[in-house]
Structure 1
C-alpha cells in the first residue's frame, strides 16, 4: 500500500512538473512568435527607408572621394602648365617679339617633351602674344605644327584665365558633353585648361599654355562610382556648365543650390516621369558639383528580394527558437531540481559539503556563491580559533624569551660589575632599560605602535652592548612617519633576537647590525641586516619551506621565533604581509617584513603623525 502511494506521489509530481514546463513553453513560445511577427511587419515598412538611406550615404562617400581626387587632378594640371614659366630659356623665346626657325624648333621639342611626360594629354600648345604664333603638338598628327593667330586676347577663355587669381581657367572640350556608355574611350578629349604666362615685373600677359586632357581620368572615376544602367550622373561647375554627362536626358536636369557647409538637397526627384534618389556633392573649393541619380525602381526590387529572404529567415528562426525554448526549459528545471536536492544535504549543518557547479549559467553562479559563502563561514571560524590560540602562544613564547633566567643572570652580573668600574649613571640607564622591557613584555597588547617596539629594541640592545661591548655595533633608522603604525608586538624584536642569537653568540668577530623601518609606496618595510656568519643554504631553504607551509604556532624546533612570527603575520594581515630571508654565509644576512597597508591604516598613521 505504501509503495503504491509513493509511486502515485512521484507520478503526481512528475505530471505537475511536466505541466509547468508546458505552460512555460507555451507562454514563451507565443511571445517569441508575436515578437517575430512584429519584427517582420516593422522590417517590411522600414526596409525601403533603410535601403534608401544606405544608398544615399554610400554614394555621398563615393562622390566625396571622387571630388577630392578630381580636385587633386586639376591642381596637378595647373602646376603642370606652369612649367613653361620655370624654364628661363623657353621664357626668353616667349618674350621675344620675333621668332625664328631655331626658336620654333626649340619650342616644338619642348611641347613634345611636355606631351609625352603625361599619359592623359590629347594635345598641348603655346600661344605667344608678342609674335602671334602658336606651336602645337597633337596626338592625332604626332607632329609639331606652327600657325599664326590674332585677337587671342578677345577670346572668352583668355579673359576668364587672365582675370583669375591664378591666371588659369578650365573649360569643357565641347558643349554637348554627353558620353554614352559605348563611347567611354580613354583617348576621347574631355576638358581644356588654359594657363596665362605673365611678365613677373610688368604683370603683362606673354603667352597662353593650352592643354587638352582625355577621358582616362573619368574612366577611373566612373568605375569608382559603381555605375549601373539605371543610374545617371553629371559633372558640372558651380555655374551649372556640364563637363560630363552619361545620358542626354541630364541636359535639362536642374542644378540644386548647394554649399560646402550645409548641403541641402531633395531626397528624391521626379525626372522624365521616373523617380530617382538625387545624391550631390560640392567640392571643397566650391567649383565642382557632382550629381548622381539612383533609380528608385531598382532599390524597390532590391527591397522586395531582401524582404522575402528576411521573412524566410524569421520563419526559420521561429521554429528554431521554439525548439530551443523547449530544450532550455527542460534543462533549467532539471538543474534546479538537482540543485534543490543538494542544498537540502548541505543544510543539515555540514559546512564541508559543497554544491555541484553544473547546469545553466544562473545555476552555476548560484552554486558558486553558495559554496563561497559556506567556505567563508568555515574560514572565519577557523581564523578566529587560530588567532586566539596564536595570540596566547605568542605571548607565552615572548614572555619565556624575555624572562629567560640565563638572560636575567647575565644582565644582573653585568650591572654588578659595572657598579665597581663605572659610576651610578650608567648603571641607572641599564636598570631603567631592563625595567622598561619587563613592563613592555608583561603589557596586555596584541598590536603596538612602531615607536614602542623600536624603543623596546633599543633597551634590549643597550643591555647587550654592556655585555658584549665593542663586539656589537648597531644602527637604527625609524622616522616619525612610521612611529604610529600598529604592528604585532615583538615583531621587530624577533628579527633582532634571531640576528643576535645566530650572529653574535656563535662567533667572536664584531657584529654590525642595521635596523630600518620605512614606508615605500604604501607598504611598511622592516629590515634587519647583519654581517654575521649567516645561514647555510640548506638551513635557509628549510626555514623558508616551514614558513610557507602555513602551520600553526610551534613551541620547539629550529628558528621557532621566525616561524611563529610568520604565522602571526598571516593571521593578522593575510596575504598583505610577508617575511623574507636572504643570506650570504660569512658576508651578509637580511630579514625583511613587508606589510601592505590599507588606505585606512595609512590615513590613521598620517593623521596621528
Structure 2
C-alpha cells in the first residue's frame, strides 16, 4: 500500500492538492485580513461617531447649565440679575432692601431654572456663605467648603470649574442623588470676585448621553484621566469595574493625546478596541470600549460560507485531478509494471507501446537497453570463466606473509643449530619487523615501538657492516603510553641514509623517549654530516619523499597535525659537519584514549 501511494499518479495528485491548498490559504488569509481590517475601520468610524454624538449632546446640556449660571450675575440693564449683585456686593443694605432684592432675585432664578431638565439646584453665594440665594437642592456650602471647592474657584483664573459627581448633602446619598457641579465666579462692578455661582447637574445626564448598551456592542465610560477616577460606567460594563482587576489602569497609561484609539488585551474580555476623546469643556475623557470579537462578528457567517464553498471546490478539484492523472499515467504505469517483472531469467518487455510521446521513447530505450544487457551478460559469463581459471592458477603459486614469517623462524632455528648466530639474529629481527608490520593497529605501546625500532636498527647494523652504534634511552614511566606506528623508524632511516651514510666508523645514532611535562618527547640524533638551514626549511615544507620507498618527514608532520592538531610538531636542529637532531613532541596517550585519535 505504501509503495502504491508513492506512484507518480499520487505524487501528482498530492502536489496539485498541496498547491491548491497553499493558493487557497493565501487567498483566504489575504481576504480575511482585508475584511477584518475593513471591519475594524468601520467599527472605529462608528465608535468615533457615537463618541462625538454622545459628547456633543452631553456638552450642550452642560453648556446650557453654564449659560444659566452666567445669566444670574450678568452685569446688564436687567434689574433682576442686578439685584443678585447688589445682595453680594453691598454691605450697607437695610433689611427691607435685602428682603426686596432677595424676593426679586429668587423669582428671577425660578424663571431661569424651572424648565431645565437634569438641573438639581443652583446657588449664588458670597465666599463666606453669609449671603446666598438658591434654587432647588444645590450642594450645601459646608460640603463645598470641606472639599475646598470654594477656595479653588476663588483662587483660580478659570471662567468656570467642573466638579466630578458627588452627593450634594450628607443625608442624600442614593444613586439618584449623585450630581456634578459647575462653579463660576461672581464679579463686582469693579471686577473683584465677590462670590460664586454653583450649578448642580444630575448624574442621570451621563446615563442619558452615554449608556448605549441597548443598541451597540460598545460601552462608553467617562473618566477623569488626571486621577484615574471613573465618573460613569454603563450598564454593559465590558471592563467589569466591580471585579477590581479591570484593564482601566493600562488604558489610562495609553491616553497619550486628547483623542485617538488603540488596542489593549484584557484577561477576561480578550482584545479590546479603545477609542477616546477628551472634552475641552469638562476636561473629562470619554472612552468607547469594543471587544474585538464583536468587531469581527459581523463577517463570521460570511467567512464560514466561503470556507464551505472552498472545501467543496477543493474536493471537486481533487476528484478531477485524480481522473485526469489516472488517464495520463496509464502508459507509464503499464511500463512500470512490466519493468518490475524483469530479472535475471526474464529480460523481455511483455507490452507494446506505440505512442510518439515521452513514454513511447522511454519504452524503446528500455527495449534497446535490455538487448544490450543480454549481450553483456553473455560476454561477462565468458570473461568470468576465463578469470576463474586464472585465479586458480594464481592460487597455486600464492605465498602469504604468514608463510614467510614461519619460514624466517625456520631459518633462525637452523642458523642457531649450525652456530651461525648473526644470521639467526637477523632472521629474528626481520621476523619481529614483519610481525609488527602485519599488525593492523594504528597506535602501539611505546614498549613495542622501541622493540620494533631495535629490530630495524640491528638489521641495518649488519647491512652497514657495523659502521655505526645505536643507543636507545627511555624512562619506565612512559612504557605504557601509546604512539602512532611508524613515526620514529622513518627518522632513524633518514639519519642512516643521509647523516651517517659517508662514515665508515664512529657513527652514533641516539634515540630517546622521555616525558616532558604533559607531553611525550622523542629525540633522534646522529653525529653525521648535518643539514643547512635552507635545506631544513625545504624539507619541513615540501614532500621530498613522494616517490621514495618510505614515508618522508613532510608526511610525518602531516600525520602529527592530522592526529593531534597544530599544537604538536616535529622540529629539526642541525649543525653542518657535527650533528642532526629531530625533536618530536606528542601528547601522552594512554590505552583508554587511543580510540579518540583513530
Question: Which structure: larger Rg?
Answer: 2
* TM-score normalised to structure 1 length: 0.38
Q: Larger % of helix: which? A: 1
